[in-house]
Chains A and B, each alone.
Chain A
Amino acid sequence: MIRNYFKIAWRNILANKLFTLLNIAGLAIGVCVCVILFSFVNKELSYDKMYSNSEDIYRVNMETSEAYDYETWATMPNAVGPAIVAEIPQVETMTRLIKDDFGATASLKIGDKNYTEDGLYLADASLFKMFDFKFLQGNSETAFSEPKSIVLSMSAKEKLFGAKEAMHKLITVNNSDTLQVSGIYADLPKNSVMDCAMVYNIMDSWMGTNVYWSNASYETYVQLQPNADVAEIEKRATALIDKNVDKDGQYFTKFIFQPLTKIHLYSADVREGYSTKLGNITTIKSLMFLSLLVLFIACINYMNLATANSRKRAKGIGVNKVLGANRRQMLFLFYVETGILVLVSIIVGYAASFLTLPLFQNVTSSELAFSDLLAAPILVGLLLIWIVVTIIAGSYPAIAMSGISPLILVNKSKKKNSASEYVRKGLVVFQFAASIVLIIAVTIILQQMAFIKNKNLGYDPNGIIAISVKSAENQQQIDAFTKAVEKHSNVESVSAVQAMPGVGESGRSVQKLVTDNVGLPIASCRTNGKVVKTLKLNLLAGNELPEHIAEGDSIIYTLINEKILSYLDYKTAEDAVGKIINTELGSRAIITGVVKNFNFSSLKEDVGGYMYYKSSSAPEGIRTLLVRYNTQKLPQFMGQLEKTFNENLPNTAFDYQFVDRHVAQLYASEEKTASTATIFSALAIFIACLGLFGLAAFMAEQRTKEIGVRKVLGATVANLTKLLTKDFLKLVLVAFVIAAPIAYWLMNKWLLDFAYRTEMSWWVFALAGLAAVLIALITVSFQAIKAAIANPVKSLRTE
Chain B
Amino acid sequence: MLLELNNIFKWVNQGGNRVFLLKDLNLEVEEGEFISIMGPSGSGKSTLLNVIGMLDGFQEGEYKFLDESVHAMKEKNRSKLYKEYIGFVFQAYHLIDELTVYENIETPLLYKNIKSAERKALVADMLDRFNIVGKKDLFPAQLSGGQQQLVGIARALVAKPKLILADEPTGNLNSNQGEEIMQLFKELNQEGVTIIQATHSETNAAYGSRTLHLLDGRRDHK
Contacts and interface: CB of A to CB of B under 8 A. Distances in A.
Interface of A: 1, 4, 7-8, 11-12, 15, 315-316, 318-320, 322-326, 329, 405-407, 409-410, 412
Given A4-B103, A324-B83, A324-B108, A407 B98 contact: no
B158 to A, nearest CB: 10
Interface stretch (B32-40, B87-95, B174-182): B87-95
A4 B110 contact: yes
A386 to B, nearest CB: 24
B88 A322 contact: yes
B112 A409 contact: no
Count chain B CB atoms within 10 A of each CB in A4, A318, A406 and give the residue with the most.
A406
Contacts of B110: 1, 4
A323 B155 contact: yes
B79 A15 contact: no
B203 interface: no
Contacts of A329: 111
A318 B88 CA distance: 12
Contacts of B107: 4, 320, 323
Contact of A318 (B94, B99, B103): B94
B111 A316 contact: no
A12 B97 CA distance: 9
B55 A322 contact: yes
B97 A326 contact: no
A325 B110 CA distance: 9
A410 B103 contact: no
Interface of B: 46-47, 49-50, 53, 55-56, 76, 79, 82-83, 88, 90, 92, 94-99, 103, 106-108, 110-113, 155, 159, 167
B96 A324 contact: no
A406 B111 contact: no
B98 A410 contact: no
B98 A11 contact: yes
B95 A319 contact: yes
B50 to A, nearest CB: 6
Count chain B CB atoms within 10 A of each CB in A4, A7, A318, A323 and give the residue with the most.
A323
26 contacts: A4-B103, A7-B103, A11-B98, A12-B98, A15-B98, A316-B96, A316-B97, A319-B94, A319-B95, A320-B107, A322-B88, A323-B88, A324-B79, A324-B82, A324-B108, A324-B111, A324-B112, A406-B55, A407-B56, A409-B92, A410-B50, A410-B55, A410-B90, A410-B167, A412-B47, A412-B56
Nearest to B111: A324
Contacts of B79: 324, 326
Contacts of B83: 324
Contacts of B46: 410, 412
Contacts of A15: 97-98
Contacts of A409: 90, 92, 94
**Lowest 7 A-B CB distances belong to which pairs?**
A324-B111, A324-B83, A11-B98, A323-B108, A319-B94, A322-B88, A323-B107
Contacts of B95: 319
A319 B96 CA distance: 7
A320 B96 contact: yes
B50 A325 contact: no
Count chain B CB atoms within 10 A of each CB in A8, A405, A409 and give the residue with the most.
A409
Contacts of B108: 323-324
Contacts of B159: 324
Contacts of B103: 4, 7
A1 B113 contact: yes
Contacts of A319: 94-96
Count chain B CB atoms within 10 A of each CB in A7, A320, A322, A406 and give the residue with the most.
A322
B111 A8 contact: no
Contacts of B76: 326
A790 B114 CA distance: 48
A406 B75 CA distance: 13
A617 to B, nearest CB: 93
B151 to A, nearest CB: 12
B58 to A, nearest CB: 13
Contacts of B53: 322
A79 B83 CA distance: 87
A4 B102 CA distance: 12
Contacts of A405: 55
Nearest to B112: A324
A268 B160 CA distance: 74
B222 to A, nearest CB: 27
A324 B88 CA distance: 11
B45 to A, nearest CB: 10
Contacts of A323: 88, 107-108, 111, 155
Contacts of A406: 55
B94 A315 contact: yes
B37 to A, nearest CB: 14
A725 B30 CA distance: 58
A547 B17 CA distance: 106
Given A15-B98, A326-B76, A410-B49, 10 more contacts: A4-B106, A4-B110, A8-B96, A322-B55, A324-B83, A326-B79, A326-B111, A405-B55, A410-B55, A412-B50
A324 B106 CA distance: 12
A8 B104 CA distance: 11
A406 B55 CA distance: 7
Contacts of B47: 412
A758 B88 CA distance: 72
Contacts of A322: 53, 55, 88, 94
A522 B156 CA distance: 92
A409 B113 CA distance: 24
A745 to B, nearest CB: 49
Contacts of A4: 103, 106-107, 110
A424 B94 CA distance: 28
A407 B55 contact: yes
A12 B98 CA distance: 7
A322 B107 CA distance: 11
A14 to B, nearest CB: 9
B167 to A, nearest CB: 6
A491 B208 CA distance: 113
A320 B95 CA distance: 9
Contacts of A12: 98
A11 B55 contact: no
A410 B111 CA distance: 21
Contacts of B56: 407, 412
A4 B96 CA distance: 13
A12 B88 CA distance: 24
